[in-house]
């Protein structure tokens, strides 16, 4: 049996077993058990206690039941309970020396004590401890090793050896080595999977980089993971991190990580990722950008953005100074003092603390408010201008008529009075002695 003593590993302690299994508990809780400790074995499992079947060295041993007894001989013991099957073996030895470790699952971070057991008459023996055949850093001690904190790399085959004095108490007898015990250090069963994001809170701007990571509240050892969104069965990736280099607006949603240690799987609480679209293209209505109203007219300005994730905040500027907040600016019945340039500033931000703020400025709107009496004055000026135009038009027409009459008189005055022009031959005016000029005016 030397070299075959194994550490008893209970699935219930590790939390890895889905169904109940039969367990064989040992008291005192050390393995391998030594006969001179008056070892008690107790069988735990489903079914009535009186239905326990015992085996020793692989053979049926003793009558059915009860569920516990005190060991009187060395050997390898097992028990069987209806519905939960056969237990792992417990070894009871009657040898010296014996290396003992706690009879429980050994987990990373636990404190481990190694005991090199000898019979009472050998209590003064020197002891040495080994791991994988090499001396540990403690040598030649009469007591057990001090406790040390387990790490995963502490798994291995442990043993010890003793040296006793000869009958003369002067010389020491050769070293006697114990059977090796295999120690397996397990990672702590994980639980409490949670997610965290960078940037914090899972809020990220469009086009930015997002990194999701998982952490476990309890547990050590190698873990595998897959990433999912919206309960989808298709993994987005594997490993401890999920990285999105350039997020789009369709990357918003609930993300989860499924973590496994090879025996069990646990899902994290979903993390809501929000992709924020920065505000852009702020505009003011009504238009155009140059707006003229009269004193006493009601004026309302509205600001909107073409794109931008809610909530969007609006601030109004009049001649560069803040005058109001909100998407609507109610000026009411305006006065001349309302004249000037108006501009809207739209903002949205990442996170409650506003560690990143995005801003969009609208074009300026020039508002001109004319006084109440200015309308009659404008009408009078326009009528006067019209009358002046008509007077000028009549003067031009009269001047043109006068010029044409004057030109006609000058043309008549140039004809000689004593040399009347002769009419063409045969003209009756010519025979009558009538002049051409006279005939021309009859």
Domain 193-275 carries which CATH code?
2.60.40.10
Backbone torsion region of residue 38, taken as left when φ is above 0, otherwise alpha when ψ lies between -120 and 50, otherwise beta: left
Domain 5-186 carries which CATH code?
2.60.40.10
Residue 344 CA neighbour count, 13 Å, CB half: 25
Would you say 62 and 79 are in contact if contact means Cβ atoms under 8 Å apart?
no
Pairing of strands 271-276, 253-260: antiparallel
CA–centroid distance for 434 within its chain: 121
Instruction: For residues 160 and 57, give the distance between their C-alpha atoms in angstroms, rounded to a whole number.
Output: 25
Pairing of strands 253-260, 265-267: antiparallel
Radius of gyration from C-alpha coordinates of the chain: 55
217-250 b/e (C-beta count within 10 Å ≥ 16 → b): eebbbebebbbbbeeeeeeeeeeeebebeebeee
According to the model, what pLDDT value does residue 353 have?
72
84, pLDDT greater than 70 = yes
Instruction: For residues 417 and 396, give the distance between their C-alpha atoms in angstroms, rounded to a whole number.
Output: 35
For 189, the 3-state DSSP assignment is coil
According to the model, what pLDDT value does residue 425 have?
53
Pick the residue with more confidence: 93 or 123?
Answer: 93
Residues whose CB is less than 8 angstroms from the CB of residue 42 and which lie 6 or more positions away in sequence, other chains included: 24, 25, 27, 67, 68
CA–centroid distance for 90 within its chain: 50
Instruction: For residues 54 and 5, give the distance between their C-alpha atoms in angstroms, rounded to a whole number.
Output: 20
According to the model, what pLDDT value does residue 3 have?
33
Residue 210 CA neighbour count, 13 Å, CB half: 28
Both tokens assigned to 72: 């009187």
CA angle 241, 243, 249 (to 5 degrees): 135
According to the model, what pLDDT value does residue 270 have?
92
Instruction: For residues 440 and 51, give the distance between their C-alpha atoms in angstroms, rounded to a whole number.
Output: 161
Both tokens assigned to 360: 């969009």
Q: Average pLDDT in the 71-93 region?
A: 93
363-384 b/e (C-beta count within 10 Å ≥ 16 → b): ebbebebbeeeeeeeeeeeeee
Would you say 129 and 136 are in contact if contact means Cβ atoms under 8 Å apart?
yes
Would you say 299 and 338 are in contact if contact means Cβ atoms under 8 Å apart?
yes
Q: Please measure the distance between the N-terminal and C-terminal CA atoms of the chain and give it in whole angstroms.
A: 167
410, pLDDT greater than 70 = no
According to the model, what pLDDT value does residue 431 have?
44
Instruction: Name the least confident of 9-23, 177-191, 311-325, 400-414.
Output: 9-23
Instruction: For residues 274 and 251, give the distance between their C-alpha atoms in angstroms, rounded to a whole number.
Output: 8
Share of the chain above pLDDT 90, in %: 49
According to the model, what pLDDT value does residue 258 have?
93
According to the model, what pLDDT value does residue 336 have?
92
149: which strand partners?
111
Would you say 374 and 368 are in contact if contact means Cβ atoms under 8 Å apart?
no
Could you tell me how many residues make up the chain?
442
Q: Average pLDDT in the 118-138 region?
A: 80
According to the model, what pLDDT value does residue 40 have?
96
Q: What is the DSSP string of 376-439?
A: HHHHHHHHHHHHHHHHHHHHHHHHHHHHHHHHHHHHHHTS-SSSPPPPPTT-HHHHTT--HHHH
Residue boundaries of the structural domains of the chain: 5-186, 193-275, 280-370
Tens of pLDDT, residues 132-156 = 999 886 666 777 788 899 998 999 9
Would you say 309 and 205 are in contact if contact means Cβ atoms under 8 Å apart?
no
User: In terms of CATH architecture, what is 280-370?
Assistant: Sandwich (2.60)
Share of the chain above pLDDT 70, in %: 80
211, pLDDT greater than 90 = yes
- CB-based burial label for 52 (10 Å; 0-12, 13-18, 19+): buried
Would you say 186 and 221 are in contact if contact means Cβ atoms under 8 Å apart?
yes
Confidence of residue 291 (pLDDT cuts 50, 70, 90): confident
């Amino acid at each position: 049996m030397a070299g075959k003593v194994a550490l008893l590993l209970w699935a219930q302690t590790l939390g890895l077993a889905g169904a109940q299994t039969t367990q064989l508990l040992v008291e005192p809780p050390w393995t391998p058990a030594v006969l001179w400790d008056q070892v008690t074995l107790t069988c735990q499992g489903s079914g009535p206690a009186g239905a326990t079947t015992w085996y020793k060295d692989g053979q049926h041993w003793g009558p059915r039941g009860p569920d516990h007894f005190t060991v009187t001989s060395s050997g390898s013991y097992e028990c069987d309970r209806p519905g939960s099957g056969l237990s792992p073996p417990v070894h009871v030895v009657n040898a010296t020396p014996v290396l003992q470790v706690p009879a429980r699952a050994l987990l990373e971070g636990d404190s481990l004590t190694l005991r090199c057991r000898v019979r009472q008459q050998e209590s003064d023996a020197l002891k040495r401890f080994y791991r994988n055949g090499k001396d540990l850093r403690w040598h030649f001690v009469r007591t057990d090793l001090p406790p040390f904190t387990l790490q995963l790399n502490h798994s291995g085959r442990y043993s010890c050896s003793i040296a006793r004095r000869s009958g003369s108490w002067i010389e020491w007898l050769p070293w006697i080595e114990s059977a090796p015990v295999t120690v397996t250090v397990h990672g702590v069963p994980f639980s409490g999977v949670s997610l965290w994001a960078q940037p914090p809170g899972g809020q990220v701007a469009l086009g930015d980089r997002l990194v999701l990571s998982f952490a476990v509240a309890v547990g050590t050892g190698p873990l595998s993971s897959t990433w999912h969104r919206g309960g989808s069965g298709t993994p987005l990736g594997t490993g401890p991190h999920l990285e999105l280099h350039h997020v789009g607006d369709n990357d918003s949603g609930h993300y989860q990580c499924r973590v496994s240690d090879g025996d069990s799987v646990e899902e994290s609480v979903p993390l809501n990722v929000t992709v924020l679209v920065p505000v852009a293209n702020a505009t003011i209505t009504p238009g155009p950008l140059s707006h003229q109203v009269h004193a006493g007219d009601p004026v309302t300005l509205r600001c909107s953005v073409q794109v931008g994730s809610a909530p969007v905040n609006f601030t109004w500027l009049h001649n560069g100074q803040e005058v109001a907040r909100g998407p609507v600016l109610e000026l009411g019945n305006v006065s001349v003092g309302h004249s000037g340039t108006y501009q809207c500033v739209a903002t949205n931000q990442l996170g409650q603390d506003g560690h990143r703020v995005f801003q969009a400025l609208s074009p300026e709107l020039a508002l001109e408010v004319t006084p109440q009496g200015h309308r009659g004055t404008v009408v009078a000026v326009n009528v006067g201008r019209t009358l002046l135009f008509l007077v000028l038009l009549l003067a031009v027409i009269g001047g043109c008529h006068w010029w044409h009459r004057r030109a006609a008189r000058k043309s008549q005055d140039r004809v000689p009075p004593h040399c009347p022009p002769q009419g063409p031959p045969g003209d009756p005016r010519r025979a009558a002695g009538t002049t051409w000029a006279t005939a021309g005016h009859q």
